[in-house]
Structures are given as structure tokens and as C-alpha cells.
Amino acid sequence: MKQAARQITTPRPRLSLSIPEGMAPVEFFNSPANLKNLAEENGLFRTPEDLLMYRKLIGHSTEFDTSIILDTSRRILDPLGRPVRRDQMSRKQKKVWQQMTQILCDYMLQQYPDPERHLIVCGEASLDSTWPLNKPGVPSIRMIHNHFIVFPLDELEQAPQADPNDPNLTDSGHHSLFLRHLSEVYHEFLEVLDLQILKPISTEDSSLKLTGYPQGLPSWELSDGPEKLKDQYFWFEYEQILRGFLDFYRTFFSLVATGEEKIPDRANFPNQINDVLLASNHFLRVARDLRERVIQDPLFANEIRWRPAYKQILYRDDYGRLIVTISQNSVGNAITELLGIVVNRREDDAAYAAIEPGLVGRLLEARQRLQDAGLGESLSAPCWPANAFAPCRG
């Protein structure tokens, strides 16, 4: 079987809300009205810290697919004023975020124990608050997400190959910065991290056999297996990876924006920035080449995310190992595309109705674990008015 990215088609039902005439979809999806509807129609669980677990109605997988979002829409009406990265969350929010992540990962690993049958992904994506509201391809909800997804591997194996030039797979060309131009210095820079639980693993060894993704990114294996997800030091190391990424991103795009070689304010690893990044002629040349392209190409310039936007994922590989990696988050690309999976969502009420009872049942089982941990309260919705699925569409 040829190693290649795959494109799957996932059914979805008709949406219950219509976009008002004259309003762009991205403007509507960021509105308090849409976010209120999301919680009322698809909300599963909410904590006092505003963390909301909900069903992904326009989802990635029909096997298991849910998200946790830091839903600050009831407190902060300005979409540009909401937290979009984990480093912007309070200590309490991060602690509960970690607990919920560990519990849902445990559920997926226990329900789907065979790595030869199911791909398990836990993926966190920041949504850049500086992105223009009317920019095509902007993520639909401007708040930080954590995704929990399971794909049956037989479905991925049978899926057609994706176009290798799909802009979502390539980050509209931006991924090549990490894959082809900056991979070596990116790896070297992150070697400063003093990690004990997470062990560096080569790009070739961390890639999925089916797709060959992720590509060109530093990766770490979680030593001693899933039990370490309950270790607070694992989450400290997970945070260190994000901190290193933020330093790399800010240093690079500050250089592109201003042409000045300087250490960003509030840098986490200033000595490593100075000794590795600003001392690298290759790093400086790539930034200056990109700066020149931004000056000359207005379309390309409009796609740059000047503030840090990332995808940090934890996934189970072919051998049952848990792997962590991190990449920039660019135009329109989904968390699954970091693993070479392009999802085409198709409106199909009948197909979705056929899988909906099983999917919702599994989401409710996972929700019960959060309830049992005393983290918040379960939510009722039209399709689960209590603790069981109830058909809600005619």
C-alpha cells in the first residue's frame, strides 16, 4: 500500500441556524448567538472555569469526535479579546484543562486498545486573535480548542489519496518553512528543553506508516506509556514544548516583520534564542527571504499569522506509542491534516442519522467520566435530554 495522505468524506446533518443575509459566515460563526446555539444544541459538559465539551456537528470522524473549548463568549463579547492560546489561560483553567484531557484520552485508549485498528488523536489548536474577522479560511470559533478524535484505520486505508498539494496539507505553503527550510534549526533549538518523561524521537520514526505524516517536525515519545498522563510533570513538559515553540515563532516572525535581530520580550529561553537562532545564518536568511516575499506579494502577505498560532498534538502511532509534536497553525488547515488526513464534510442527513446513535452514545459515556471526577455539570441538549440519545431531527 502506497504511503500517502488520505482524504475521507464525513457526513453531517443540516445545521439548525441560518446565516443572516449580508453577513459573512466567519462573522456569524464568531457571534455570541452562534456560540450560544453551539452550547444549547451540542453542549455535553461545562465546568465553572468556562471549559465546554461539545459534539462536533461538522466533525472529523463518525467514530468518536468531541472538543473542549474555552468558551468565554458569555463574558467577553469582543472575539478579538478572547484567550486563544494555552499560555493565556489562568492556572486553574489549565489545571482543569489537563484533567479533562487526561480523562478523555484514557477513555479513548481504553475503548480502542488496538493501535492496528484505530488511530487516536488529541489535538490542541490555537486560533489567532489577530486574524481578520472577514479573512477567508479563518477558523470558525475564535477560542482555543482541544480535539479528541478516533479514526478506524480500515476506513483510512480504503480512503482515496489526498492531493499532496492540497493547501490544507501544506499550510498554504507555510508548512514548508518547517519541513524544508527550518526543520534542522527548529530541532536544534528545541534540544534545550530538559525533558525527562518525553524522549526525542526522529521524524522518520514518528511518522504514521499509512500517511507518512507528520513531516519535518520535532517529536517526543511519552516514556512509560499512558499512565504518565496522570503525572503532573508530564503536563509541565508538555507546557515546555509550547513555550519553546512560542519563542521560535516569535523570534522568526519578528525578524520577518521588522528585519531586526532581537530577542522577543518575555522570552522563555533567551540564551537559546541568542545562541542558536540569531547565530544561525540559515535562520536569518530564510526570515529575510520571507520578508522580501511579503513586501512583494500582497496575497501571500495577507496569509501570514504574525502572532503565535500552533497545533500541539498527542497521538498513538502504529506501535502503540504516544507521540507529541507541535507545528504552526496556518490558513484553514485542520488538526487532522498534521497527520496527513484531509476531511471532506458532506451534508447528508440520512447517513448521519445512521451513525448518530452510536456516536452520541460514546460521547455520553466519555462525559460521564468527567461527571464522576466532579469537574462540572452535564448539559442537556435536544438529542440527549438526559443521559441517552434521543432522535431530534425529523
Question: Between 332 and 310, whose confidence is greater?
Answer: 310
Q: What is the DSSP string of 208-271?
A: -TTT--S-S--EEEETT-GGGGG-HHHHHHHHHHHHHHHHHHHHHHHHHHH----PPTT-S-HH
Helix (H, G, I), strand (E, B) or coil at 52: strand
Q: Tell me the torsion sign for CA atoms 367, 370, 374, 377.
A: negative
Cα 84 from Cα 311, distance rounded (Å)? 12
- 220-255 residue pLDDT tens: 999 888 899 999 999 999 999 999 999 999 999 999
- 75-111 residue pLDDT tens: 887 777 788 888 889 999 999 999 999 999 999 999 9
Domain ranges of the chain: 6-171+195-225+302-378
Q: What is the DSSP string of 70-115?
A: E--TTT---GGGS--SGGGS-HHHHHHHHHHHHHHHHHHHHHS--T
What pLDDT does 39 receive?
86
- 171-208 residue pLDDT tens: 544 445 666 678 889 889 998 888 999 999 988 898 99
Cα 70 from Cα 35, distance rounded (Å)? 11
User: Which grid coordinates belong to 48?
Assistant: 465553572
Whether 377 contacts 45, CB under 8 Å: yes
Exposed / middle / buried, residue 368 (Cβ in 10 Å: 0-12, 13-18, 19+): middle
User: Which grid coordinates belong to 62?
Assistant: 463518525
What pLDDT does 50 receive?
92
Cα 164 from Cα 308, distance rounded (Å)? 26
For residue 136, report the phi and psi dihedrals to the nearest 5 degrees: -60, 140
For residue 120, report the phi and psi dihedrals to the nearest 5 degrees: -110, 130
Question: Between 306 and 110, whose confidence is greater?
Answer: 110
- Residue 377 one-letter amino acid: E
What pLDDT does 172 receive?
42
What pLDDT does 331 receive?
46
What pLDDT does 141 receive?
63
Contacts 24+ apart (CB under 8 A), 15-20: 15/57, 15/58, 16/41
